[in-house]
Amino acid sequence: MRAINYMKIDYMLTKQQLRILPLLLIVAVLVGRSMGDVWLMYTCSYLLFIGTIFSTTPFGSCQRKNTGFLLMLPATVTQRVLGRFLFGISYVAIAVLLCAAAMGAFSLLGFEVTTAMFGIFLCNAAFSLLIVALEYLISYVFGEGRNNWQYVGNIVRIAPGMGMFFLIMFVLDKMDEETFVADRMEFLAQKIVSVGAAALAVALAAMVLAVVISIKVIEKRDYA
């Protein structure tokens, strides 16, 4: 599938971030460990935040000078755009897999991963996918290939993920308050996994919609 080949091209053009990924994993653990009893959730939230930033790197590093080369490759607009979306999804998927492995190891060591924690993680993953979908859509509709977009683009790439990270931190901080937990733990235990699953479904639907709109927009231009 040529879309996968385009995803590989984006990996080649952004290979420097793969080199620093192990270092960021260590940073994520250190950030989490400084946050208290639910440190694993802080670590996962930080990894997903990094995933959203890494997902949008091609819009910052793949400059206009690469456009001619990419257009010479045998592929349709759909394949090129889909390949980039696959690149974006892949980094969120990597973060999710790392978090799932950490939760598994956490459980094997005898620590409890509660239903509420798992549900919040699902919501966090859904937010990450939704953010990537919106960032890609904004970049394609308003910025891709346009002069001076890189400055605004950097804000678009970083601000939403950072906002999500601080939101999850706020929720986790609230979970440490006894009154909050007492009043809401029953809801969290019964509903949060369902809410997280529904949020994932909505995020995936938004991703599909963003792909379709982006393809329509790029088909009217001479680059993608």
- Give me the mean pLDDT over the 195-212 stretch: 93
Residue 165 belongs to a domain: yes
The pLDDT tens digits for 137-154 are 888 888 665 555 555 556
Residue 224 belongs to a domain: no
Residue 86 belongs to a domain: yes
DSSP state of 50: H
Residue 42 belongs to a domain: yes
Q: Please give the pLDDT value at position 182.
A: 47
Q: Which domain holds residue 10?
A: 2-219
Whether 224 has a pLDDT exceeding 50, the answer reads: no
Q: Please give the pLDDT value at position 210.
A: 94
The number of distinct structural domains making up the chain is 1
- CA 29 vs CA 32, 35, 95, 158, 177: distances in Å: 5, 10, 13, 21, 23
Residue 79 belongs to a domain: yes
Q: Is the pTM of this model over 0.75?
A: yes
